[in-house]
A and B are shown apart, each in its own frame.
Chain A
Amino acid sequence: MNILLQQKAPIHEALLRHKSNRVVPFDVPGHKGGRGNKELTDFLGEKCLKVDVNSMKPLDNLCHPTSVIREAEQIAADAFGAKAAFFIVNGTTASVQGMIMSVCKAGDKIIMPRNVHRSAINALVVCGALPVYVNPGVNKDLGIPLGMSLFDVKEAILSNPDAKAILVNNPTYYGICSDLRGIVEFAHEHGVKVLADEAHGTHFYFGEDMPVSAMAAGADMAAVSMHKTGGSLTQSSFLLCGEGVNPHHVRQVINLTQTTSGSYLLLVSLDIARKNLSLNGRELFKKTVEYADYARNEINKLGGYYAFGREIIDKVSVYDFDPTKLSVHTRDMGLAGIEVYDLLRDEYGIQIEFGDISNFLAIISAGDRPLELERLIASLSEIKRLYSKDDKSDMFDHEYINPDVVFAPQQAFYSSKKSLPIRKTVGESCGEFVMCYPPGIPILAPGERITEEIVNYILYAKEKGCLLTGTEDMSVNNINVVEVD
């Protein structure tokens, strides 16, 4: 990383120049610096509306960058140690889809763990590639899916020599990493491209003592959700390319689906956030880890909760662990993670990232203050005092449910379907997604066989208050299944 280069922020500088030039706007957006929408300007602030502008020569064009955006992308590539970087304004979903669609076409095989984000399987629906799922392993005590072991990855590659790519979570939502270096080495030996979903891994590039980042491990592409832990605005993201792909082809793929009106608010937030992380990231993430470690220790002292950390590393399914994640296991108190999540919000005014059946996850960042950490810990101690149950008999024992893929996701999604009440769907092939959101990892993806176990899991998650999404039926009483003649 070139520190002198990193002190620049070309898009930021271009917008400042644009503002000081007082250009008369006879182009879109029609709010014209906010004057045309007073209520919005009062709410968001004039400063913000004044830089909500359209592509123009001095500000470059996201679809075909030749000046400031190109320069900003080159500086970002330098920051991440990548061959090329793309500014993405359609969310990390677009980054993940850009990766998959850059290396797979209809009928191509892609290896992935089943606990991928829905955006990855969405990409398969769009492009028609076929998934080969690897069991990510489950920690039965914690009830969480882990990372693919190198052994299982090797086996999947050897038994699918025609696979074009492998997608790896680096890390998972819970902070668990696979042996990315080992996977890259083996995959490349067998001509398989490695794509990393780093939606939760921005800080791997800038913090000290972090798990290895995709670019450092030699992966071919990575989707980095800058807005999650990197400090840019929601929906902004980076797509990184390593040596193994042609960036100009990748840009064409991105342009298939990305907006032609890229928001300069999002673009400048990526530019400034990248600069901030390059210059201050080490300190920021050091503080983040200190906060997370402190919270882990204090929460573990409360008893009943288990805030897990690096001790779960086993070098197989948990090759490494992201120390900034505050994942807490709640089942030993007789409470589902989602119940603690709801109590924290409804009773204590604390919003955390998500709760599932057995755990909840709080996002810690350098933007936190000790005061708020104390509130979280104190609230957890109260939840334990007031709500914990000795009887854990109704707690769901989560196992990895090995998916039985009957149809390719695209085929299932576009087939004729019928809507059945959930309980009646056992044995059918699912025609849509069913997932809890967050974390947005499908319980069922299009084309998968519905089993009784899965139905029970969905009903249990619903009863505990998880927000189920993905189905055409907004109340998730019915599931669309593939109609077979």
Chain B
Amino acid sequence: MELWYTENHTDEVRFSIKIDRQLISRQSEFQRIDIFESREFGKILTLDGYLMVTEKDEFIYHDMITHVPMATNPNIKNVLVIGAGDGGTVRELLRYDTISHIDMVEIDEEVVKVCKEYLPITACGLADPRVQLYFEDGLKYVRRQESKYDLIIVDSTDPFGPGEGLFTKEFYGNCYRALTEEGILVNQHESMYYSSYAASMKRAHKRIKDSFPVARIYQAHIPTYPSGHWLFGFASKKFDPIKDLDADKWNKLGLKTNYYNTDLHVGSFAIPNYVKEQLEGE
């Protein structure tokens, strides 16, 4: 018997992982949540069939979505994380003693429950006293905040589905208002390699640029995401992710990371021409 998990990266392209067994399948109010066990990638979390996290390569995503803003402004104290029900982003943030408080807003409580039970590798920090969990729509939560956070991380699903509202102009504008004068917004920015997402990501980047004086794109290589070439958005009210990077200070923290380092930090903002051209074409 062979069991394979397959995600259609486009209508014409498939990505498959051989599965040892399925650990759980649950339908929440918002989506279908599955966890599989595989020999190559360890445990795998999928939402509505889309791959979110694997034990083997989650470090790349979580390193890049957290350490880039934290090395740019080491004084970040108050953080809002939107989405990120698997807990990996919070786990990385908790490594900074300088962070005093993290609010995490996840729309689907079931994702957190499932991850706490089956994915402790990422969900381990969710019970930390510095972390406050809210289970509601991120767009609704952020609308009611003003000048409160030094960093907002948007660790969302795709722009089609429950995470749809997190790629809108109104959301980025609400984030701007929720941030302090030192504020940074980092978001997962999908990939522009396949055309199905390229148009909506071009639009998302333009919307961020309209709301924030600094708006940049950086990248990472994530084997299990469509095309393997993944982008992140870095937007801020004043910090430049390269000029303001204090590499020595971050390195002195002595955080051991498997993907991120301060050289790669600078390099990750050097994006390929095909991405540049599409973004500039907007």
Contacts and interface: CB of A to CB of B under 8 A. Distances in A.
Interface in A346-371: 347-349, 370-371
Most buried by A among B140, B164, B169, B170: B170
Contact of B143 (A347, A371, A377): A377
Given A348-B170, A370-B137, A371-B137, A378 B177 contact: no
A371 B170 contact: no
B174 interface: yes
A386 B120 CA distance: 43
A347 B164 CA distance: 16
A209 interface: no
Given A348-B168, A349-B168, A375 B139 contact: yes
Contacts of B165: 371, 374-375, 378
Contact of B174 (A347, A349, A370, A382): A382
A378 B164 contact: no
Contacts of A385: 173, 177
Contacts, number: 46
A61 interface: no
Given A348-B168, A348-B169, A382-B169, A371 B174 contact: no
A349 B164 CA distance: 13
B143 A378 contact: yes
B260 interface: no
Nearest to B169: A348
A374 B173 contact: no
Contacts of B137: 370-371, 374
A229 interface: no
A300 interface: no
B36 interface: no
A379 interface: yes
Contacts of B171: 378
B162 interface: yes
A386 B170 CA distance: 11
A347 B139 contact: no
A369 to B, nearest CB: 10
A381 B164 CA distance: 18
Contacts of B168: 348-349, 375, 378-379
B257 to A, nearest CB: 35
Which interface class (under 10, 10 to 19, 20 to 34, 35 or more) fits B? 10 to 19
Given A381-B174, A382-B174, A374 B139 contact: yes
B169 A347 contact: yes
A191 B270 CA distance: 82
Contacts of B177: 385
B52 to A, nearest CB: 19
A377 B173 CA distance: 12
Contacts of A382: 169-170, 173-174
A348 B177 CA distance: 17
Nearest to B168: A375
B81 to A, nearest CB: 18
Nearest to B171: A378
Contact of A379 (B140, B162, B164, B170): B170
Interface string B36-54: 0000000000000000000
Interface in B87-146: 137, 139-140, 142-143
Interface in A36-76: none
A381 B172 CA distance: 12
Contacts of B169: 347-349, 379, 382
A381 B174 CA distance: 8
Nearest to A380: B170
A379 B173 CA distance: 9
Contacts of A386: 173
Interface string B140-179: 1011000000000000000000101100111101100100
Contacts of B173: 378, 382, 385-386
A347 B210 CA distance: 11
Nearest to B146: A385
B263 to A, nearest CB: 38
A117 B181 CA distance: 51
A22 B142 CA distance: 56
A386 B165 CA distance: 19
Nearest to B174: A378
A370 B137 CA distance: 9
A340 to B, nearest CB: 13
Interface in B168-220: 168-171, 173-174, 177
A374 B174 contact: no
A107 to B, nearest CB: 55
Contacts of A381: 143, 170, 174
A296 to B, nearest CB: 15
Contacts of A348: 168-170
A385 B146 CA distance: 12
B30 to A, nearest CB: 9
Contacts of A349: 168-169
Interface in A429-484: none
A362 B142 CA distance: 23
Contacts of B143: 374, 377-378, 381
A203 B28 CA distance: 31
A374 B164 CA distance: 11
A233 B137 CA distance: 32
A367 to B, nearest CB: 16
Nearest to A372: B165
A375 B162 contact: no
Nearest to A370: B137
Interface string A378-400: 11011001100000000000000
Nearest to A347: B169
Contacts of A379: 168-170
Contacts of B174: 378, 381-382
A375 B174 CA distance: 11
Contacts of B170: 348, 375, 378-379, 381-382
Nearest to A385: B177
13 contacts: A348-B169, A348-B170, A371-B137, A371-B164, A374-B140, A378-B140, A378-B142, A378-B168, A378-B174, A381-B143, A382-B169, A382-B174, A385-B173
Given A374-B140, A374-B143, 8 more contacts: A371-B165, A377-B143, A378-B139, A378-B173, A378-B174, A381-B174, A382-B170, A382-B174
Closest 3 A/B residue pairs (Cβ): A378-B170, A382-B173, A379-B170
